[in-house]
Chains A and B, each alone.
Chain A
Amino acid sequence: QTDFADMVKKDKVVVFMKGTPSQPMCGFSNAVVQILRMHGVDEYAAYNVLEDQDLRQGVKAFSNWPTIPQVFFNGEFVGGCDILLQMHQNGDLVEELKKLGIRS
């Protein structure tokens, strides 16, 4: 049994994605990886949902969000690719990362 509450709190930035940061298997997951990289976020926990069906279904139920990728900051659900992209464009992402002590 996966304890998602623990999983998302363990690291400041947690991403559930298809593939890995070095080899994303979907354009949306890749977009999240690229946005984080652009902001200098290199160290984060990334979980590959393609390797584990329970993880894939479980995280959707945990966050009540139907799609992958999913991004968490400080244990809080932030959103998927569209939300991260819009936060990147409107400057909110810089502010949120600042709260985590990450300077982008």
Chain B
Amino acid sequence: MEITVDHIRNKLTTEIGAVHVEVEDTSPNRCAASFKVLVVSPQFEGKPLLQRHRMVNTCLAEELKEIHAFEQKTLTPEQWEKQRAP
């Protein structure tokens, strides 16, 4: 399976209703497949950080087996708005 930025974005959008996804392929800085994602989804509302990250991990469980390093940030649309307009 070839893991691409588009593949990750599509999966997060369909499976956990992300309204905004930023995926950065950080592989060139490292020795193997590496990605950094920012996921904004209303489904994160009222969920603690650990549970949000577990949702992302579950969504990308197959991909994570091939990914060497994975960084994630999970925000609700409200938190995302706040962060964008300081």
**Footprint of B on A, CB under 8 Å?**
28, 64-67, 77-83, 86-87
A67 touches B50 (CB 8 A): no
B69 touches A79 (CB 8 A): no
- Identify the closest chain B residue to A80 (Cβ): B53
**Footprint of A on B, CB under 8 Å?**
49-50, 53-54, 57, 61, 64-65, 69-73
A-B pair count, CB < 8 Å, reads: 29
Distance between Cα atoms of A66 and B56 in the complex (Å): 11
What are the 7 closest A-B residue pairs judged by CB atoms, nearest first? A66-B64, A79-B50, A83-B49, A82-B72, A66-B57, A82-B71, A67-B70
Beyond known contacts A77-B50, A82-B71: 6 more, CB 8 A cutoff? A64-B54, A65-B54, A67-B69, A67-B70, A82-B73, A87-B49
- A selection of 11 A-B contacts at a CB cut-off of 8 Å is A65-B57, A66-B57, A66-B61, A67-B64, A67-B70, A77-B50, A78-B50, A79-B50, A79-B53, A82-B53, A87-B49
Distance between Cα atoms of A77 and B50 in the complex (Å): 9
Distance between Cα atoms of A78 and B53 in the complex (Å): 11
Q: Which residues of B contact A64 (CB under 8 A)?
A: 54
- Identify the closest chain B residue to A90 (Cβ): B49
Chain A nearest CB from B53 CB (Å) reads 6
Q: Which residues of A contact B73 (CB under 8 A)?
A: 82, 86
Q: Which residues of A contact B53 (CB under 8 A)?
A: 79-80, 82-83
